Structure 1
Amino acid sequence: MDQLQITSATPNSALLDLPWRLPLAEWPDEVLAALPRGISRHVVRFVRLDGRVLAIKEISEHVAFREFGLLRQLNKLEIPGVVPVGVVTGRRDDAGEPLEAALVTEHLAFSLPYRAVFSQSLRPDTATRLIDALAVLLVRLHLVGFYWGDVSLSNTLFRRDAHQFAAYLVDAETGALHRELSPKQREYDLDLARTNIIGELMDLAAGELLDDEVDEIGIGDALVSRYAELWEALTGVESFDVDERWRVEARIARLNQLGFDVGELSITTDIDGTTVRIRPQVVDAGHHSRRLFRLTGLDVQDNQARRLLNDLDSYRAATDRQDEDEPLVAHDWLQNVFHPTIRAVPRDLRRKLEPAQLYHEILDHRWFISEQAGRDVPMPETVASYVDNVLRHRPDEKAILGLAPGEKDPELDDDDVADEGAPEDDHFHLST
């Protein structure tokens, strides 16, 4: 008889306590976390274990190990995606009949499948913002040579990122990692994405979850346009006269504005030295989030980081400290502005949003009530107004985190934003 075996990136003996002898569809409610699930061709369940939430998917052993390996590689490449925990094999029921293997990943805190996003009655431009996020994710995947093979909203999770969304890959079983993708491979992935997304949006419209003004085909076409625009900005060759060298810095500044850092540029001149050609060679996403992390230690989404950096700049100007060392000013902003603002929100309400998103929304609320009042509303007054008039009425996201009532959220400390790292190289094996 096969022996239950858990192959894991990090050892966790608590995994052995889960009811692996039962088909996943029959797992008892007491081990499950009530989280919204996207559409999947496999049985997927969420469980609470050791203070965190795990996603478990029943799948064949070969595909489970293949997807586990791909997710680990993508994590090492710093591609937004779920973090793989392990693969469970050798499962048998009480009658000794074999059960499918299981892939275990960490649940992405504060994330939602697209159907849950649309069920919250968001603004009509929600579909466009989701597509923008998916286009950025697809470009990032293609830049590292990953062919997805099944691009869709269903295979993506979304997290709020200031006024936008950030997209995360959640299903890699049809993917493949290459040294570089050919234009045909990219084109096929993009065309498949367009087809799938139009179908998913039409399905939402049929279920009356989509605003009547949304053009499903137009949104699918917008993905193609947004992808092409971003790909050209990141990889396109630009030519200019040799006396226009300022355009090199302008190209880099434009990429920074899009949220990307340029690690390397290819610069060539023609034979007579009158024309310069530049092309980015190494492009990394997360320009603003890296800068904020260096200054404050806060690890947040890139648009959130952009907003927080703007507030830091405002603080620097308001305190007349433009000539002081930036890391020192950032430390004071963190201790005197950011952390006190987050702590002013009642603890039981903080878990509704990530700290950076919470701060972003408080800044938005401050602008709104200041305009109404015709004066600059102080932050303590702003927080009290935001909590009473906005935050208390938001959908309770405890269920999104998989927390029982009164249970402490391990992702949210008083002062810090959780830093989720990729697993180490070694595999650990647990068996019974």
Structure 2
Amino acid sequence: MRGSLNITSATADPALLDLPWDQPLDDWSNEYIAALPKGISRHLVRFAHLSGRVVAIKETTEVMAKGEYEMLRTLQRLEVPCVEPVAVVSNRTDPEGDLLAPALVTRHLRFSLPYRALFSQTLRPETATRLVDALAVLLVRLHIIGFFWGDVSLSNTLFRRDAGAFAAYLVDAETGQLYSGGLSNGQRENDLEIARVNIAGELMDLEAGGKVADELDPIRISNGIVDAYRSLWTELTGSESFSSSERWRINERVDRLNALGFDIDELAIRTTDEGSTVRIQPKVVDAGHHQRRLLRLTGLDAEENQARRLLNDLDSYSASYGKSDLDEEMVAHEWQARVFEPVVRAIPVELRGKLEPAEVFHQLLEHRWYLAQNAGHDIPLAEAVTSYINDILRHRRDEATMIDPPTGTFTVPIDVIDDPETEPDADWRLTV
């Protein structure tokens, strides 16, 4: 390779040097390319193999690549759900010495998919609503830390399953700006309007291609992000006044925030001179309440709703076996060893790329409940595991990564997420 290749990376991976940086990204051979579904991007983006993992490579300008790289690193430090930046590769030249576009390298988020790959034949309104709700939660989290996105859309987001809902991750931070003093109401409303317009356009595009159910209304779905965002924003940041005789409402407010998956670092409480009115307002709100509790008790790292579901099962185990008065961490260790880990170990090796362990456990609990409803009595866990593996999991698509066949027009089995219990898998023609 001619010239002096520049690689900026916090954790240098020597394997980066093995990629053909002296060729335009569009010319890379299938030897390097990983076949994964991807969203729409204004820049050329391709997936490649790197040290046994998959990375996304985007050709852009050097200024934009370095700016986005630093922004993603900052967002990760702030624990915002986003893709992991790997490197910026600049000063690329071809064999003739001509300059090639710099590239931003990010880690592919395992078990995630762009919104267009989250359906097989038609996108149902319920699924579209869940995607928009997940995006609303992400946007609120970004605005709380003072991040103005500037290009909010489904295309710039990746989605992972989260116990019947979805968790949204920021993919493209190219237009984002972080303000230390927080965002004004005008900036937040601008981002929200960008989101509403972009989502409507994306859903209309799917509608024009016959990819949505007849009853799906793109305008109604896109307007939904406004309501979802404002409701959550008010709950997280709004002040509340009540009589001093109703001080129990302080705990009620904290419980509501915890139920939404948020912790409060500080709560401002003020009373009037007469002491008749109490005014409370959350000062600092962090997401991941259930995630942190599960991680503390078991060491398991899961999405928020998954963590909530696992904790519910843990609490149920504790109550069922009369262990509620015992040390919580000891009971959690016992539950993990006797319930969670045996379920994970029971999954055949060839099926472990289907879903994350936490999502498998959540779906197993759902499946066991359905079996019990149909049978009219409780179903042993071992029996439910066997039924779930053979009747459900074995027929799902692999959501960890899809490496073969090579990039091009190919057939990928995409399961119908709206009702995986009853609807069959289908083949979907996907061009990447």
Considering the TM-score relative to the shorter chain, is it more than 0.5?
yes
Cα distance between partner residues in 2 of 1:141 and 1:403: 35
**CA distance 1:318–1:401, shift in 2 (3 Å):** farther
SS in 2 for 1:331: helix
Q: Which moved more, 1:317-326 or 1:195-204?
A: 317-326
TM-score using structure 1 length: 0.91
How far does the alpha carbon of each residue in 1:58-109 deviate from its partner, in whole angstroms, 9 at most, with x for none? 0100000000010000000000000101100110111111011000110000
Structure 1 counterpart of 2:58, which letter? K
Cα distance between partner residues in 2 of 1:213 and 1:123: 8
How far off is 1:220 after superposition? 1.0
Gaps of 5+ in 1: 406-432
SS in 1 for 2:325: coil
2:257 corresponds, among 249, 255, 262, to 255
The corresponding residue for 1:29 is 30
| Percent identical | 61
Cα distance between partner residues in 2 of 1:397 and 1:283: 32
How far does the alpha carbon of each residue in 1:322-342 deviate from its partner, in whole angstroms, 9 at most, with x for none? 111110000011011101011
Q: Is the 8 A contact 2:122 2:210 kept in 1?
A: no
The corresponding residue for 1:16 is 17
2:268 corresponds, among 262, 266, 269, to 266
Cα distance between partner residues in 1 of 2:172 and 2:137: 17
How far off is 1:347 after superposition? 1.1
Cα distance between partner residues in 2 of 1:403 and 1:71: 29
The corresponding residue for 1:294 is 296
Q: How does 1:187-336 map to 2 (within 5 A)?
A: 187-336=189-338
SS in 2 for 1:262: strand
Cα distance between partner residues in 2 of 1:54 and 1:104: 6
How far off is 1:167 after superposition? 0.1
Gaps of 5+ in 2: 407-432
Cα distance between partner residues in 2 of 1:122 and 1:143: 31
Cα distance between partner residues in 2 of 1:124 and 1:230: 21
How far off is 1:404 after superposition? 8.7
Structure 1 counterpart of 2:126, which letter? D
Cα distance between partner residues in 1 of 2:160 and 2:93: 37
How far does the alpha carbon of each residue in 1:133-174 deviate from its partner, in whole angstroms, 9 at most, with x for none? 000000000000000000000000000000100000000000
Q: Is the 8 A contact 1:53 1:401 kept in 2?
A: no
Q: How does 1:108-257 map to 2 (within 5 A)?
A: 108-119=109-120, 124-179=125-180, 180-257=182-259
Cα distance between partner residues in 2 of 1:269 and 1:225: 31
Q: Is the 8 A contact 1:110 1:401 kept in 2?
A: no
Structure 1 counterpart of 2:341, which letter? H
How far off is 1:351 after superposition? 1.0
How far does the alpha carbon of each residue in 1:103-127 deviate from its partner, in whole angstroms, 9 at most, with x for none? 0110000000010013365654100
Cα distance between partner residues in 2 of 1:232 and 1:403: 46
How far does the alpha carbon of each residue in 1:389-431 deviate from its partner, in whole angstroms, 9 at most, with x for none? 1111112336x354799xxxxxxxxxxxxxxxxxxxxxxxxxx
Q: Is the 8 A contact 2:112 2:399 kept in 1?
A: no
How far does the alpha carbon of each residue in 1:3-46 deviate from its partner, in whole angstroms, 9 at most, with x for none? 10110010111100000001111110011111001000001111
Q: Is the 8 A contact 1:109 1:401 kept in 2?
A: no
Cα distance between partner residues in 2 of 1:338 and 1:159: 21
The corresponding residue for 2:53 is 52
Q: Is the 8 A contact 1:91 1:99 kept in 2?
A: yes
The corresponding residue for 2:339 is 337
Q: Which moved more, 1:225-234 or 1:241-250?
A: 241-250
Q: Is the 8 A contact 2:3 2:97 kept in 1?
A: no
Q: How does 1:83-98 map to 2 (within 5 A)?
A: 83-98=84-99
Cα distance between partner residues in 2 of 1:320 and 1:391: 33
SS in 2 for 1:30: coil
Q: Is the 8 A contact 1:150 1:189 kept in 2?
A: yes
Cα distance between partner residues in 2 of 1:118 and 1:362: 21
Cα distance between partner residues in 2 of 1:347 and 1:157: 26
Cα distance between partner residues in 1 of 2:83 and 2:316: 35
Q: Is the 8 A contact 1:264 1:282 kept in 2?
A: yes
How far does the alpha carbon of each residue in 1:256-289 deviate from its partner, in whole angstroms, 9 at most, with x for none? 0111001101111223222111110010001111
Structure 2 counterpart of 1:309, which letter? L
How far does the alpha carbon of each residue in 1:321-376 deviate from its partner, in whole angstroms, 9 at most, with x for none? 11111100000110111010111111111210000000101111100111111221
Is 1:373 the equivalent of 2:375? Answer: yes
Cα distance between partner residues in 1 of 2:237 and 2:402: 38
Higher relative contact order (CA 8 A, sep 6+): 1
How far off is 1:380 after superposition? 1.1
SS in 2 for 1:29: coil
Structure 1 counterpart of 2:331, which letter? V
Cα distance between partner residues in 2 of 1:141 and 1:227: 12
Cα distance between partner residues in 2 of 1:403 and 1:262: 45
How far off is 1:212 after superposition? 1.3
The corresponding residue for 1:351 is 353
Cα distance between partner residues in 1 of 2:173 and 2:112: 17
Structure 1 counterpart of 2:114, which letter? P
How far off is 1:48 after superposition? 1.3
Structure 1 counterpart of 2:65, which letter? A
RMSD of aligned alpha carbons: 1.4
Instruction: Work out the number of aligned pairs and report it.
Output: 404
Cα distance between partner residues in 2 of 1:364 and 1:349: 19
TM-score using structure 2 length: 0.91
Cα distance between partner residues in 1 of 2:123 and 2:292: 29
How far off is 1:178 after superposition? 0.2
Structure 1 counterpart of 2:228, which letter? R
Q: Is the 8 A contact 1:4 1:88 kept in 2?
A: yes
